[in-house]
Amino acid sequence: MNSLVELAGQLCKILLPIDEEVFYGDPSSNVAICTLSSMSLLKEISNSDLMTEITLVGRLLSENKGIDALIRHVSKHPTLDTIIICGMEVSGHRAGHALFCVHKYGTDEQNRIINSVSPDPVLSVSKSEIQQFQRQITLINKIGQTSLEEIRSVMSSQ
């Protein structure tokens, strides 16, 4: 099954290339924004003045490699303490839901995200990296929110 998922992922990269992944703002900020699969929101934020208030904005498309990359980034940036999760979920993958599950419950003995409804929520990061992520980060759930003005209001309440 995993080789089939890998093949599907490679086909998606070829057929639906997505260049935009991460846009960097103020490196001294402690807040990041994740737009899940909302690429237009990602571009809108990256071209807005919000970039002066956040360390980065990026996307999250998968419940495994994407979350692994996010957790690894957090472990290398100890001043980052808040991530606003907004935008629309990837249909079927539910990467945002999986991210909240790993933050709350962690992973089981097979490195599967506990309580995730995603099809392949298996991580490669270590238990200690997950625990650091859980201690260090506050996740703000705005899944489904695609309005830049609404995200601005979340930022102003931080």
**What is the per-residue pLDDT across 66-111, written as a single tens digit (0 to 9) for each?**
999 999 999 999 999 999 999 999 888 899 999 999 999 999 999 9
Q: What is the pLDDT of residue 156?
A: 83
Q: What is the pLDDT of residue 40?
A: 94
Give one DSSP letter per residue of 39-71, joined into a string: HHHHHHHHTSGGGGT-SEEE----SSHHHHHHH
Q: Is the confidence at residue 43, as pLDDT, over 50?
A: yes
pLDDT tens digits for range 2-16: 555 454 555 444 444
- Domain 22-156 maps to which CATH number in 3.40.50, 3.30.420, 1.10.3470, 3.30.70? 3.40.50
CA angle centred on 131, ends 121 and 41, rounded to 5° = 55
**Domain extents for the chain?**
22-156
Percent of the chain past pLDDT 90, that is, above it, reads 80
| Contact by Cβ (8 Å): 113, 98 | yes
Query: Distance between alpha carbon 111 and the CA centroid of its chain, in Å?
Result: 18
